[in-house]
Amino acid sequence: MEKLVYLLPILVCPLMMGAMMWMMMRGNHTSAAPQPGSQEEIAALRAEVATLRAGQPGQQEPIGTGATA
**Is it the case that residue 20 has pLDDT exceeding 80?**
yes
Compute how many other C-beta atoms are within 10 angstroms of the C-beta atom of residue 3.
7
Section 11-17 average pLDDT: 92
Q: What's the number of domains the chain is made of?
A: 1
In a domain, 56, yes or no: no
The pLDDT tens digits of the residues spanning 23-67 come to 998 876 655 555 666 888 889 999 999 999 998 876 566 666 655
Strand, helix or coil at 35? coil
What are the angstrom distances between the C-alpha of 47 and each of 16, 36, 53, 58, 64? Answer: 48, 19, 10, 19, 16
Residue 8 lies in a domain: yes
Task: Give a yes or no: residue 20 inside a domain.
Answer: yes
Question: Is 9 part of any domain?
Answer: yes
Domain region containing 13: 1-26
Q: Is residue 6 part of a domain?
A: yes
How much is the pTM? 0.35
Decide if 14 is inside a domain. Answer: yes
